[in-house]
Amino acid sequence: MPKVVWFNGTVTPFESAVVPAMDHAHLYGDGIFEGIRIYDRKVFKLDEHLERFYHGINYMGFDMPYDYATLHAAILDTARAADIDNGYIRLNVTRGTGLGLDPKKLESRANVMIGISTLALYPPESYETGLHVVTAPIRVISPDALDPRLKCIGRYAGNIMAKQFANRAGAGEALMLNAQGNIAECTGDNIFLIQNGILRTPHSSSGILKGITRDTVLMLAKDAGIQTEETTLTPFDLSACSEAFLTGTAAEVIPMVTIDDRLIGDGKPGPVTKQLISLFREHTKIGTAF
């Protein structure tokens, strides 16, 4: 499977792909991105990802050289060039090229990249046995500083540091709280709890990325007759729930079985979690063919 990169309209192999040294994301984290899955030669939730992507472009004020239809077609063309059945698309846009914070000093319009590769956040056995999670001391960025709906490259420095904390603790993932001490998200995933048969997840005002997979799981749960609730959750709720799991484009749906060495429920993936994993995997058969 060739790994390829589309950069500002030119396709090259991964190994020879380059970006300008003075790219604004390289210098300042001034860019946004999307991660998108390919299942059985279909791009999953492409329009939902692109809608969020262009909302971010508008919010950041980038001078985007490609309209929605052009980028949509470029993604499918690049996936076709990669000749891949199952994989991961990394979509990047940065403000452009130039040294200095002032956008007026940039030498170019936005730089856009489409990368086709593979990505697995967790080992396959974790989907059967569940993840062990620790609470990180690093908090998510406050919504009044940077809107969490913006998938900003620079925003993820804190998430990477929280992931390092989990690695040092020998855990599979780290839970991040917000400034109020409430549950926000994990380093690359949204979090769900099952309490008294109700599927609960932090409200978008908690400082979370409003994930595409998160929204998909909420939809699938409602269709299956599972009561759902988007609300404020505290660390205490992890001690009072019967099941927990994480969701994300790269993570998909993965059980969470401990928090800070305490069992969640009986310490095994629960029936609601298993049901939603099955429903999600079936749902991934729907996508945009290339």
Residue 75's domain is classified under what CATH number? Answer: 3.30.470.10
Which segments of the chain have a pLDDT < 50? none
Distances (CA, A) of 16 to 11, 80, 285, 290: 10, 19, 33, 24
The phi and psi torsions of 142 (rounded to 5 degrees) equal -65, 140
The pLDDT score that the predictor gives to residue 108 is: 86
Domain end marker among 57, 87, 117: 117
Q: Do 134 and 63 sit in the same domain of this protein? A: no
Q: Please tell me whether residues 72 and 11 are part of one structural domain.
A: yes
Residue 290: inside a domain, yes or no?
A: no
> Has residue 197 been placed in a domain?
yes
Do 87 and 136 fall into the same domain? Answer: no
Tokens of 246: 């994480």
Q: Does residue 35 fall inside a structural domain?
A: yes
Alpha-carbon span 260 to 78, nearest angstrom? 42
User: 59 and 89: one domain?
Assistant: yes
Owning domain of residue 194: 126-283
User: What pLDDT shows up at residue 141?
Assistant: 93
Of the three residues 117, 136, 166, the one that is the final residue of a domain is 117
Say what the pLDDT of residue 154 is: 94
pLDDT at 119: 87
Same-domain status, 22 and 54: yes
In a domain, 288, yes or no: no
Same domain? For 52 and 153 the reply is no
Are residues 72 and 201 located together in one domain of the fold?
A: no
Q: What is the pLDDT of residue 1?
A: 56
- CATH of residue 243's domain is 3.20.10.10
pTM for this prediction = 0.94
| CA-based end-to-end distance of the chain | 16
Q: In terms of domains, do 137 and 271 share one?
A: yes
Query: What radius of gyration do the chain's Cα atoms show?
Result: 19
For residue 59, is it within any domain?
yes
Q: Considering 117, 144, 160, which residue would you say is the last residue of a domain?
A: 117
Q: Are residues 198 and 219 in the same domain?
A: yes
Same structural domain for residues 130 and 273? Answer: yes
Residues 93 and 131 occupy one common structural domain: no
User: Alpha-carbon distance 149 to 156, whole Å?
Assistant: 13
Classify residue 154: in a domain, yes or no: yes
The DSSP secondary structure of 50-102, one letter per residue, reads: HHHHHHHHHHHT---SS-HHHHHHHHHHHHHHHT-SSEEEEEEEES-B-SSS-
Determine, yes or no, domain membership for 235.
yes
Query: How many domains in the chain?
Result: 2
**pLDDT tens profile 146-170:** 998 899 999 999 999 999 999 999 9
